[in-house]
Structure 1
């Protein structure tokens, strides 16, 4: 997969392109992705056009939190068969581009779009004035065809990134994973931690997610760790380690069942399956160890190991 970011000078030929924010790459997004992938058989270049956001919102002081970071999104899409991922820089200029100019200058001239695949509520351009009707009105002018899809539902819920964010912030991991259509995960390189777990016979791996990664509530979760494509069951703590460290940044600490290899510096994915309990501050390491042993017993029953 070709990855283009922070660059507005690109030239793609004969593309089938899907457009949107694509935070979460959830089930609704997957319909659009699958469609452009299917068009590869007809000779089109499959393209996803999205935006690369600055860590801080242009219009407020709030940091944009992402279900999947840019690195995680690239990792998912690189395995999908997509030809090109374009993360277009989001700026004041980008925000203020007139929708007619976006169609002409980007979709037609830069992407040579022959097929445009979007959700039926897709909006773009200055003041979000561009929509599916504007795109369809310009089909004959520019020679492209628009393919649109209704919102996908799961049970009684319309799937959207905002719904998934809300469930994630509540720690409803099973619901999050169903809405996503994949398991929520945290990707990163294993850090050299305090090794407290090793001293009490429970060695753990430590990740420090980027500040713009949207994490679930602090607590203990059943998890799977993906190492070199192999999945290993375990238990993960999200939080600040109040008993032993009182860390300033929220970290991801995982105990992998029956695993003893050194993973320091290794890039891994930690998938969260189910919320077990909140993070607790204990009065001693001994109390922490007892609770961790209870967590591991729960985990072995959960995974039937």
Structure 2
């Protein structure tokens, strides 16, 4: 997959395009992705167009909490089979671009869009004055096919990134998985930790998520970790490790049940299946180890019941 980020000097040919923020790449977004993937059979390039926001350009701190970081989004879209991901620079010029100019300059001149699919609430251009009605009006002028997809619902509730953020914030990972169509995950490079887990028989992999990454509440989770294409069950702690000296940054530390190879420097993906308990402060390492033993037993039983 070609990744074009933070620049406007590109020129594509014969594109099937979907546009939006795509934070979460949830089931609603996947309807759009499936549509442009289908267009590859017609010889069109499957293109996702989104924006690359500088933190200072975001409307609120809440928007800095991304369900998936830019790198994670790339990884998911590449696995999905997209041809091109464009993260267009969100500058003052971009913000103030008139909707008609956006259609002409971006969709037609830069993307050569032959097929466009968007959600029914899609808006674009200055003050969000562009909408699906405007895209419909210009379809015959510029010769593109337009398809509009209604928002996907589960139990009469529209799937949205804000709804998913709310469920992540509550630690209800089963509901998050239902809305995303996949378990919520964190992807990153394994770093050297303080190796305290090894002293009590629980060596862990250590990730420090990007500061923009939205995380569930601190605590212990049942998890699956993808390493070089294979998934390994385990348990994961999110937090600051208060028992052994609080870390300044929040960490994601995973104990894998049946894996003991060196992972330092490798990129892994940790998926969260169920929240077991909150992060606790123990009076001693012996107390911590006793609780970890209980967590291990619960985690192994969970996967046995799931047939893994």
TM-score by length of 1: 0.98
How big is each residue's C-alpha offset from its partner over 1:131-172, in whole Å with a ceiling of 9 and x where there is no partner? 000000111111112101000012232101111011101101
Query: 1:273 corresponds to which residue?
Result: 273
Query: 2:145 corresponds to which residue?
Result: 145
Shift of 1:61: 5.8
Query: 2:107 corresponds to which residue?
Result: 107
- CA–CA distance in structure 2, aligned partners of residues 217 and 269 of structure 1: 18
Q: Secondary structure at the match of 1:68?
A: coil
Query: 2:208 corresponds to which residue?
Result: 208
8 A Cα contact 2:18 2:116, kept in partner:
yes
Query: 2:292 corresponds to which residue?
Result: 292
Query: 2:85 corresponds to which residue?
Result: 85
Would the alpha carbon gap of residues 57 and 167 (structure 1) be closer, same or farther in structure 2, given more than 3 Å must change?
Answer: farther
Shift of 1:63: 6.2
Q: Secondary structure at the match of 2:263?
A: coil
8 A Cα contact 1:56 1:63, kept in partner:
no
- CA–CA distance in structure 2, aligned partners of residues 94 and 246 of structure 1: 43
- CA–CA distance in structure 2, aligned partners of residues 75 and 190 of structure 1: 17
Query: 1:243 corresponds to which residue?
Result: 243
Shift of 1:116: 0.7
- CA–CA distance in structure 1, aligned partners of residues 204 and 156 of structure 2: 39
Bigger CA drift: 90-99 or 227-236?
Answer: 90-99
| Higher helix proportion | 2
8 A Cα contact 2:243 2:285, kept in partner:
yes
8 A Cα contact 2:58 2:64, kept in partner:
no
Number of aligned pairs? Answer: 305
- CA–CA distance in structure 1, aligned partners of residues 59 and 160 of structure 2: 22
In structure 1, the gaps of 5 or more residues are: none
Query: 1:71 corresponds to which residue?
Result: 71
- CA–CA distance in structure 1, aligned partners of residues 240 and 197 of structure 2: 14
Query: 2:222 corresponds to which residue?
Result: 222
- CA–CA distance in structure 1, aligned partners of residues 67 and 58 of structure 2: 19
Shift of 1:62: 5.9
Query: 1:180 corresponds to which residue?
Result: 180
- CA–CA distance in structure 2, aligned partners of residues 298 and 281 of structure 1: 20
- CA–CA distance in structure 2, aligned partners of residues 192 and 118 of structure 1: 43
8 A Cα contact 2:57 2:90, kept in partner:
no
How big is each residue's C-alpha offset from its partner over 1:10-29, in whole Å with a ceiling of 9 and x where there is no partner? 10111110000000000000
Bigger CA drift: 34-43 or 91-100?
Answer: 91-100
Bigger CA drift: 122-131 or 55-64?
Answer: 55-64
Structure 1 stretches of 4+ with a deviation exceeding 2 A read 55-63
8 A Cα contact 2:169 2:217, kept in partner:
yes
